[in-house]
C-alpha cells in the first residue's frame, strides 16, 4: 500500500499545537500531533480536496473569530 510520511504545516507551533496528515492508498489520514497514538480521522481524496478548497477560499475563517 502506498503510504506517505506524516506531515504538518510549517506554521505549526513548536509545542505540538497542530495536526498531521498523510496519504495511505486512496485515504487521507489526519491526527493530533500531541496524541500520535490516539484516534485518526480518515477522508477520501475527494472529501479532503473539498475541505482544502474551502480552507483556501476562507470558508472556515469565521471559526477563528472571537475565541
The pLDDT of residue 13 is: 74
Positions in the chain whose pLDDT score sits under 70 = 16, 67
- How far apart CA 67 and CA 24 sit, in angstroms, is 34
**pTM score, two decimals?**
0.83
The pLDDT of residue 67 is: 57
Q: How far is CA 9 from CA 1, 12, 17, 21, in A?
A: 24, 5, 11, 9
Amino acid at each position: 500500500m502506498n503510504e506517505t510520511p506524516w506531515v504538518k504545516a510549517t506554521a505549526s507551533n513548536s509545542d505540538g499545537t497542530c495536526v498531521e496528515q498523510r496519504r495511505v492508498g486512496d485515504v487521507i489520514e489526519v491526527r493530533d500531533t500531541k496524541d500520535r497514538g490516539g484516534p485518526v480521522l480518515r477522508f477520501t481524496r475527494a472529501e479532503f480536496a473539498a475541505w482544502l478548497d474551502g480552507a483556501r477560499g476562507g470558508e472556515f475563517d469565521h471559526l477563528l473569530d472571537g475565541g
